[in-house]
Amino acid sequence: MDGLVEFKTEDGVRVVVEGVEDEDGARLVSRGDGPARAASTFEDSLDGVRAAAASALRVFRDGSLRPDAVELEFGVKLSAEAGAVIAKGSAEGHLVVRLSWSPEPSPTRPESPDAAALS
């Protein structure tokens, strides 16, 4: 199991998460009996993930596809030094994108059988 990392929120609330092991196999070691303390707040640690999500949303909302809904799923690991890291979920990385479009109702036919029965 990786070491524990303690983050503080901007409101001062303590958030403890399981830390990540870096690629060299080095482990995060806490000082004393508690978890290692993160260098930034929990919110600051997530800034990079928020920026990545905003960028991905711009890519999928703009252009020719124009989906009605875009759903992004990032795997996120937290590190005391690096903050939030987009986690590797497979051999290459982890980002799931779901695009959806709502069917357009026909103007000459009711949207559902129930709507026709109520008219």
Each residue's pLDDT tens digit, 55-86: 988 888 888 888 999 999 888 888 777 787 77
CA nearest 41: which of 66, 78, 95, 73? 78
- Map tokens 């800034």 to a residue: 47
The verdict on pTM exceeding 0.75 is: no
Per the rule left: phi > 0, alpha: psi between -120 and 50, beta: everything else, 59 is alpha
What are 16-64's pLDDT values in tens digits? Answer: 887 665 554 444 444 556 788 888 888 998 898 899 889 988 888 888 8
